[in-house]
Structure 1
Amino acid sequence: MSIAIKKCTLEDSRKLQEISYETFNDTFKHQNSAENMRAYLEKAFNLNQLEQELSNSSSQFFFAYVNDELAGYLKINTDDAQSEDMGDESLEIERIYIKYEFQRDGLGKYLLNKAIDMAREHHKKKVWLGVWEKNENAIAFYNKMGFVQVGTHSFYMGDEEQTDYIMSKTLI
């Protein structure tokens, strides 16, 4: 299996929208109402929103290709792009989304390590992320990778308030 990483640009906005819809929907549709899923997808992944995020110099997106097929993506945030104020010494991993058929192949670990490498390149001392309290597989994965829960924050799926665990890892 060969993995390649490509930094996303504005020209990738439609492809980013497609993979965002697919991966988010596949991951969370079974635990949320169709109405709340639709509302969230339309708000978070409309082209205007994605183009704004792609244009923010404090956010970066990376596509992951497995054997030349788009398999997933990573979004990281620093400075004022972070979804919570975690300070200048932190890097947020906002999204690691992987297509269903590529899950359990080590791609999540690969993208997580890419984010940690980027944090070190930017002289950050911590990486952090939010993960839904009901996403037990993701929580177990992040625990295994050295993340610990340091708090919670609200996440809105349509009109439903949900709780995300804030998990952090200190870099050595």
Structure 2
Amino acid sequence: MKIRPAQKADAASLAALSIEVWVGTYLKRGVNSFFAEFALSEFTTARFEALLQDGQDLLMVSENEEGIDGYIRLAEDRIAPVDGLSDLEIVTFYVQPRHQGKGVGSALLNIAIDYTREKGRQSIWLTTNSENTTAIDFYLAKGFEQVGVTDFRIGDQAYPNHVLVLNTSP
């Protein structure tokens, strides 16, 4: 496993990985057009190319001998849905299911923690679907605490998400 900054050439791989993880995690009973349209419009090569070109966010990938198997994206100046949190958010944190439990997520999270400390922040936060027990269990095991609930919105639909925070003070 190699952890490195994402490059523009990774955009298509990041889009494909995102679709795989998102569909596999959230669409348990079939794929309808509402969710398909969201995933196909949200996770595109062009969006990742623009994100990487912009350079505002930190986007790190885990790469094995065949390709990218996970990534983490951090953004600054984010308004947290709960008062008192830092402005540093883990926007996206995806690891292919077949690579979970192999240290990929832990390695990527360690990069995020180091980055948080380098930026002088005392904590980092994220949201995750309230039904995504695999992710929630991972975060809690890594020291995150649930500090609230917010909604993830797709159009006029709302889905409850846990707000989790990790204190990164040494």
**TM-score category by the smaller chain?**
0.7 to 0.9
1:153 is aligned to 2:150: yes
Q: How does 1:75-154 map to 2 (within 5 A)?
A: 75-79=73-77, 82=78, 84=80, 89-154=86-151
Counterparts of 1:21 and 1:158, CA distance in 2: 18
1:93, distance to aligned residue in structure 2 (A): 1.0
TM-score (norm 1): 0.84
CA-atom RMSD, angstroms?
A: 2.4
AA in 2 matched with 1:22: E
TM-score (norm 2): 0.85
Residue 162 of structure 1 corresponds to which residue in structure 2? 159
Q: What is the CA deviation profile of residues 82-113 of structure 1, one whole-angstrom value per residue up to 9, with x for unaligned ones?
A: 36477894421111111121112121122111
Contact 2:15 2:45 in 1 (8 A): yes
Q: 1:69 to 1:10 in 2, by over 3 A?
A: closer
Task: Give me the identity figure in percent.
Answer: 26
Greater shift, 127-136 or 87-96, is seen at 87-96
1:66, distance to aligned residue in structure 2 (A): 2.8
Q: 1:160 to 1:88 in 2, by over 3 A?
A: closer
Counterparts of 1:88 and 1:165, CA distance in 2: 14
Between the two proteins, the alignment pairs up a number of residues equal to: 168
Counterparts of 1:31 and 1:114, CA distance in 2: 34
Q: How does 1:31-110 map to 2 (within 5 A)?
A: 33-67=31-65, 69-79=67-77, 82=78, 84=80, 89-110=86-107
Consecutive unaligned residues in structure 1, runs of 5 or more: none
Contact 1:89 1:124 in 2 (8 A): yes
Consecutive unaligned residues in structure 2, runs of 5 or more: none
Q: What is the CA deviation profile of residues 41-79 of structure 1, one whole-angstrom value per residue up to 9, with x for unaligned ones?
A: 123112333233223333121110134532111111112
Moved segments of 4+, more than 6 Å: 85-88
